[in-house]
């Protein structure tokens, strides 16, 4: 985890500083005299070489200080702490939706291979993969918010309140559709491979029903690649949340990063991406641990 986070911090630091723009000018204003800009640069340490600036940044991060936002003048940690729960809620619900819909679709498609059920399931998966996130979101708003008036168009209500889940329905479907489709396709492919194994044929020869063979013998072994997809897509959903959060006006981390990039708020971009990378690395570590729970052979190896 440490080398990955170190690499992310170096890349973000260098890319932001090579992108152009002077944070001191942004803080002082476009009409500020050069003396004021130089004073702010000295205060922020921007007159120092890049490696000195980066070293100071790493030392501060290790002490829990992510810096101060240039735009709002508030601590970056506070800005991230305010928006991160929204993105985490959206991502977790989108993953749950993708798993709850994708695995059954994949199982049905594999069990009823080359039938109308298989074709319908893979058609749904194909729609989820090929349609862009913004197109799905706009269509859902047109149908369920404007035409049917079942859900609100935009806005955020915490899940602790009764109306919170109502506000999250369309964003969750929008964010999780592509992941759901991918999980369905991977589940189908993996399960078809497992169903051809000798131990599955033995289970069928013993007279076990298809439901028992699939649920108790085949599905668990077929879920290892699915767990990999879920772990990777979790990070992808966090990174891609900016589109969903923008469409539905959710005050999440992705939208915060977009605003910080537009205003060249370097400390806020650095801190937000570093926190997102940390969460992604932790999720992948947990994914590796789940492998051993699903398939004991991985643990013994």
Contact 137, 248 (CB under 8 A): yes
Max mean pLDDT among 62-66, 176-180, 260-264 falls in 176-180
Nearest one of 203, 207, 221 to 110, comparing CA atoms: 221
Contact 287, 228 (CB under 8 A): yes
Mean pLDDT along residues 113-125: 90
Three-class SS of residue 61?
helix
pTM for the model stands at 0.81
Spatial separation of the C-alpha atoms in residues 149 and 189, rounded to whole Å: 38
pLDDT-wise least confident of 17-21, 72-76, 103-107, 129-133? 17-21
Where does the pLDDT of residue 26 fall: very low under 50, low under 70, confident under 90, or very high at 90 and above? Answer: low
Mean pLDDT along residues 24-50: 76
Where does the pLDDT of residue 162 fall: very low under 50, low under 70, confident under 90, or very high at 90 and above? Answer: low
- Ramachandran region of residue 45, left (φ > 0), alpha (ψ -120 to 50) or beta? left
- What pLDDT is stored for residue 153 in this prediction? 82
């Amino acid at each position: 985890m440490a080398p990955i986070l170190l690499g992310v911090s170096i890349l973000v630091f260098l890319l932001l500083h090579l992108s152009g723009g002077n944070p001191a000018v942004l803080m002082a204003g476009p009409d500020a005299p050069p003396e004021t800009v130089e004073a702010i640069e000295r205060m922020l340490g921007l007159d120092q070489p890049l490696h000195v600036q980066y070293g100071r940044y790493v030392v501060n991060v290790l002490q829990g200080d992510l810096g101060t936002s240039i735009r709002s003048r508030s601590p970056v940690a506070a800005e991230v702490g305010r928006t991160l729960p929204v993105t985490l809620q959206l991502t977790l619900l989108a993953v749950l939706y993708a798993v709850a819909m994708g695995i059954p679709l994949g199982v049905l498609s594999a069990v009823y291979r080359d039938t109308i059920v298989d074709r319908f399931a893979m058609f749904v998966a194909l729609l989820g993969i090929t349609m862009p996130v913004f197109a799905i979101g706009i269509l859902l708003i047109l149908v369920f918010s404007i035409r049917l008036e079942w859900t609100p168009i935009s806005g955020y209500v915490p899940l602790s309140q009764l109306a919170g889940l109502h506000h999250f329905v369309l964003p969750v479907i929008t964010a999780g559709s592509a992941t759901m489709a991918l999980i369905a396709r991977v589940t189908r492919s993996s399960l078809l491979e497992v169903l051809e194994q000798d131990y599955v044929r033995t289970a069928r020869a013993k007279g076990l029903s298809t439901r028992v063979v699939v649920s108790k013998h085949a599905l668990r072994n077929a879920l290892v690649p699915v767990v990999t997809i879920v772990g990777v897509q979790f990070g992808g959903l966090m990174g891609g949340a900016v589109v969903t959060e923008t469409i539905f006006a959710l005050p999440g981390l992705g939208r915060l990063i977009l605003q910080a990039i537009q205003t060249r708020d370097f400390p806020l971009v650095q801190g937000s991406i570093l926190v997102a990378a940390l969460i992604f690395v932790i999720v992948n570590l947990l994914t590796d641990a789940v492998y051993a729970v699903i398939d004991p052979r991985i643990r013994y190896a």
